[in-house]
Each structure stands twice: as structure tokens, then as C-alpha cells.
Amino acid sequence: TEEQPPKTDIVTLTRDVLSEQFRLGTAVVGDLTLLLTAIQVTSKFIATNVRKARLINLIGLAGESNASGEEQKKLDVLSNDIMVNALRASGKTAVLVSEELENAIIVEDRLRGKYCVVFDPLDGSSNIDAGVNIGTIFGIYRIQPGSKGAISDVLRPGSEMVAAGYTMYGSSANLVLTTGHGVNGYTLDTSLGEFILTHPNIKIPSRGKIYSFNEGNSMYFNTPVTRYLESIKFPKNGKPYSARYIGSMVADVHRTLLYGGIFGYPEDKKSKNGKLRLLYEAFPMAFLVEQAGGIATTGTERILDIVPNDIHQRTSVFLGSKDDVQDLIRFYEEEA
């Protein structure tokens, strides 16, 4: 076949977000678009550094611990700084919560906007040094009426988020976004420096064939989880499920969105509240999964309904295909 001339009508992320606002008749808003533009730029910047990390000595520890007492990698710190600087300077934010910072940042009056951004600048740190996929996760709230920016603006249920997404740094950089009207995926075209719409209207298959848990924690798992895992590994009829676990939430959720199945990081006898953080890991992913037609639960409660009381609070997480997560929930119901 002959080579085709390039497409002249490409849908960039910014164009796509704007056209959604035209559809909804809210195109005048613009602020959210500008905020999303700032976030896109940070993802491009982080992607570049992830690519070069080995070459420019960004591998290894920064020598400090983060809010949860975990050691910080150089790339964690750099990614955090990139996001804080860009989001503050955008003039569109009032409160910033980062996994890497103990306290929330309340943006000074001069630069204050009406959105609050909660984020994990570089999730999946244990994978950095091996060059395995890692990602940025973010969620966006609107500031409460009359507020000048306070923690209470982000101690809100996930169902109040106006947008959420992640960027996965893998063989390509993929940004997956919801503004509450479905889920779209964009791939970074490095020659253009733009995220191009490549995965419009992502829908999770209603049932998958893959389960994604850290089974190394099996001895600590609670009964419903153990019994559920038994049921998919030793099914009464049909084939057992396949196991896939990367240990980077962004990569494990990305695969779950595209292929279906279930991802879980349960609370257990060792991690009493689970491991994953509610505000900037569980909420954004739960929002995306629900918008793609799936379910996100703690086992007993819809994740997006939880009202946080701490910005770094942890939670049990199960998410993915509707039928698979329903099966898991049944084991919790039987236990109750």
C-alpha cells in the first residue's frame, strides 16, 4: 500500500476538552481547560525525566522520607516539585495535596483559583529503578462556595470530584481523563509535544479474565478475599483467571480499564486500613472506573461515597469489571 499523507484534523486533549464544553454549552468556562493544560505540561515534563532518569543520575534515593514515612526517590521529589510549581503558577488552584508533602499547600491570594488538585506525582516508586511503568495520578475538586482555600475543600467525597485522571509513563506516555462524561485516553506524540486522542470513550468489559492482587500478602488476607481468590483460581466451571500484577497502580488500572478483570489492594491483618491512599490514588481511579462502566468498592462500601477525614488516609480498594467486582462483593456479604 502507498504511504498516506498525514491526517490534518487531529484531536488533541485540549481540543477534546473544549469540544466537550461546546457540547455542554459551557465553553465560556475555560478555567478547567487551562488547569488541565497545566497538568498536561507537567506530565510531559515528568515523562521526559523518566525517560532520561538513568542517564542524568535521577535513579535512587533523595535521602528524605515522605508524609507516610516512606523513602523518597529522586524522581518522586522532582515530579512533586514540577507539579507544585506548575499548578500554583497556573492561577487556577487554591489547595494542593501531594503524596509527597505532609501538609496541604494553600495557594497565596495573588495566584488563587477555584480548583483544588490532589495528586500522587509519581506512583509506583518501587518500579522506578527497574524501568517498569510508573505514573502520575490526579483528582480535581472545585473549591467550596466562599472558601479561600482550606483542607475542608478536599476532605470531600470522591463523588464531588469534577475531573480525575492519570498519566502512565510506559512505552509511550498515556493520559487517561474523565471530566464526568465518560473516559478518554490520549497518547503523547513526542514529535508534536501533544496528547492525541487515541482511546475515545473507554468502556471496561463487563467481565474479564484477569485478577491483579499482591498475593504475596495472602497470609494476611481476610476471609472474603481469600475465598474470592480461591473461586477464580479453582472455578467450578470454566477456566481459572490469569494473574497480572505490576505493582504500579497506574499500570494495573490501565490494563484493567482496557482488558477488564479485577484489581485489588485489600485491607488485611497487617495493613489494617489497606495501603493505597484515598484522596489521590483510590478516588481518581474509582471515578475513572465508574465512568468507564465498572465498579470501585472497599468490599463493603462504594469508594466514591467515603468522606475523608485525613488527606493521607488509606483505604481498601477493589475495582474493575462490573461482574467481577460484584462476585467479590458477594463474598463480603456472605461474611457479614
Residues that bind ligand AHM in the complex, under the rule CB under 6 A: 70, 99, 120, 123-126, 214, 247-249, 252, 265, 275
Cβ proximity of 184 and 201 under 8 Å = yes
Nearer CB in complex with ligand AHM: 104/143: 104
125 binds, among ligand AHM, Mg ion, none (CB under 5 to 8 A by kind): ligand AHM
Grid cell, residue 115, equals 480548583
Would you tell me which residues interact with Mg ion (CB under 5 A)?
Answer: 120, 123
126 binds, among ligand AHM, Mg ion, none (CB under 5 to 8 A by kind): ligand AHM
Grid cell, residue 127, equals 518500579
State the minimum distance, in angstroms, from the CB of residue 248 to Mg ion. Answer: 9
Q: Measured between alpha carbons, how far is 170 from 185 in angstroms, rounded to an integer?
A: 14
Pairing status of strand 262-265 against strand 210-212: parallel
| Full 3-state SS string of the chain | CCCCCCCCCCCEHHHHHHHHHHHHCCCCCCHHHHHHHHHHHHHHHHHHHHHHCCCCCCCCEEEEECCCCCEEEHHHHHHHHHHHHHHHHCCCEEEEEECCCCCCEECCHHHCCCEEEEEEEEECHHHHHHCCCEEEEEEEEECCCCCCCCHHHCCCCHHHCCEEEEEEECCCEEEEEECCCCEEEEEEECCCCEEEEEECCCCCCCCCCEEECCHHHHHHCCHHHHHHHHHHHCCCCCCCCEECCCCCHHHHHHHHHHHCCEEEECCCCCCCCCCEEHHHHHHHHHHHHHHCCCEEECCCCEHHHCCCCCCCCEECEEEECHHHHHHHHHHHHHHC
User: 486522542: which residue's cell?
Assistant: 197
State the minimum distance, in angstroms, from the CB of residue 120 to ligand AHM. Answer: 6
Report which residue's Cβ sits closest to Mg ion.
123
Nearer CB in complex with Mg ion: 16/120: 120
Nearer CB in complex with ligand AHM: 125/298: 125
State the minimum distance, in angstroms, from the CB of residue 52 to ligand AHM. Answer: 20
70 binds, among Mg ion, ligand AHM, none (CB under 5 to 8 A by kind): ligand AHM
76 binds, among ligand AHM, Mg ion, none (CB under 5 to 8 A by kind): none
265 binds, among Mg ion, ligand AHM, none (CB under 5 to 8 A by kind): ligand AHM
State the minimum distance, in angstroms, from the CB of residue 123 to Mg ion. Answer: 4
Nearer CB in complex with ligand AHM: 121/224: 121
247 binds, among ligand AHM, Mg ion, none (CB under 5 to 8 A by kind): ligand AHM
Nearer CB in complex with Mg ion: 123/194: 123
State the minimum distance, in angstroms, from the CB of residue 148 to ligand AHM. Answer: 30
State the minimum distance, in angstroms, from the CB of residue 68 to Mg ion. Answer: 9
Nearer CB in complex with ligand AHM: 126/206: 126
Nearer CB in complex with Mg ion: 164/229: 164
248 binds, among Mg ion, ligand AHM, none (CB under 5 to 8 A by kind): ligand AHM
State the minimum distance, in angstroms, from the CB of residue 206 to ligand AHM. Answer: 23
Q: In degrees, to the nearest 5, what angle opens at C-alpha 106 toward C-alphas 101 and 111?
A: 125
State the minimum distance, in angstroms, from the CB of residue 282 to ligand AHM. Answer: 10
Nearer CB in complex with ligand AHM: 93/127: 127
